[in-house]
Amino acid sequence: MRTGSAMIDAISMPSDGVGHRAGRISGRSPTLITVFGAGIGILAVLTAFVAMLSIDPSEALGRQSAVDATEASADARLIYSRLADVDSDANAMFLVPASAPASATLRDSYQDAIAAVANAINQSVRHERGSDRIGTISTEFQVYQSVIAKALRLNSDATRDVLAAAYAHEASDYLRGTLLASAQRMWQDESRRVDQARSRGRWWLAVSVAMPLVDLAALIVLQRWLWRRTHRRLNPGLLAATTLVLAVLVLYLTVASHWSTASGRLQATETAVRAENATQIQVGDLVAARAEVYLAMGAGVDTTVHEANFERYAHCDRPSGAYRTLCQDQRGAWDQQQNGNAAQRSGAIARVLPGGLVDQDFTAVSRSLQRTIDAQDVVTRSALSRMPGAPPAVGGPASLLAVLAAAGAVLGLWIRLTDYR
């Protein structure tokens, strides 16, 4: 009596006089089916694994990237601006004797600026951005404060005001050359981090789409191999697996379509952020110009370099609007300070200190720049609001479908395998 395997192959294969060859081929079929089944199962499980790993990278795309880029840029700008304010307020303290009534007010302004830096740093820490760079800035800022403290102790002695001014210059150089450079690198580091997150998300998206394509190719090849071996109808288990893998592919193609839309809108958001950053750089230049004014009017210094720096930071080579008035009034203050009598020199210093004419010019330019930033911020927020939400975290559903596809393929092949028993 024939075995069940031989009877099945005799029914399945056409009677063409090559029955011996057919029996030899089908004798190997159980082993091949087992190998192919294991391969399909491993591929499907690997697809599920990739789907789970791609959850976080997929969420880094779209709106999340835009939010991170915007907030990171804002944090870095705030720290940079607050550090620049400290430099300006610190230099102002050394323009008046420690016994003068205005000295206490200037010291209070300096302490407020110190607190503002601390708040800006804490805000960035709460956002978990630039933690390594923030640690460096905090350490460097402590060094800066220690130099200023030494200068203030010297400034309390009227006979040592030149030495105090020298310490103030050293502190200012350190803040600009080291601290502000660290703040700028933080800005660059955060921008690079966001770019890396987006690149990583695109890579995982490509892998996630590639895996179901490989699964589909393997399922089609296996289905064709079985049909050629048996000439039977298509295997229901493999058909179910193919359908489920197609569903996985559709999920990831939906994410790919989402990223295509988000990418275009992200460009508008980044353009708006760059415009804000450009204006913030002008604000930093303005604060630097004020610091140069204070340094130039300090004791025992060569004013030439500081005056040239002021002209550059205040854009006096192409003055317009409020900048024109600022440059004119500051030049007048320097002329009085350098060429006038003692009373005129005191008046020149009063003009640049808080409440003076030049100080009012600085305030007018600062307010103009702030209005520009406010208007640009509206544009940024508008562009951000039009960003689509983060791509759906398809990892869970895709993983489940991939596991079900593996089960369907294995079940279908197991049923086929039982025909040989």
Distances (CA, A) of 96 to 92, 200, 350, 360: 8, 55, 9, 19
Tokens of residue 276, six digits:
């804000």
- pLDDT value, residue 116: 92
| SS3 per residue for 340-366 | CCHHHHHHHHHHHCCCCHHHHHHHHHH
pLDDT, position 13: 40
User: Looking at per-residue confidence, does 160 or 227 come out higher?
Assistant: 227
pLDDT number for residue 385: 77
- Percent of the chain at pLDDT > 90 equals 6
Of 185 and 367, more confident:
367
- Across the range 63-87, mean pLDDT stands at 78
Q: Single out the residue of 231, 225, 244, 223 nearest to residue 412, CA to CA.
A: 223
CA 255 to chain centre: 21
Average pLDDT over residues 123-143: 77
Conformation bin of residue 17: beta by default, left when phi > 0, alpha when psi is -120 to 50: left
Confidence label for 115 from pLDDT (cuts 50, 70 and 90):
very high
Query: What pLDDT, on a 0 to 100 scale, did the predictor assign at position 59?
Result: 64
Does position 48 have pLDDT exceeding 70, yes or no? Answer: yes
Specify the pLDDT at position 376: 87
Q: How confident is the model at residue 300 (pLDDT cuts 50, 70, 90)?
A: low
Measured between alpha carbons, how far is 66 from 266 in angstroms, rounded to an integer?
6
For 317-326, 386-395, 409-418, which range has the lowest pLDDT when averaged over its residues?
386-395
Q: Classify the C-alpha dihedral 381-384-389-390 as positive or negative.
A: negative
- Distance in angstroms (rounded) separating the CA atoms of residues 299 and 169: 11
Q: Which residues contact 115 (CB under 8 A, 6 or more apart)?
A: none
pLDDT of residue 326: 93
User: Which of 153, 8, 35, 48 is CA-nearest to residue 93?
Assistant: 153
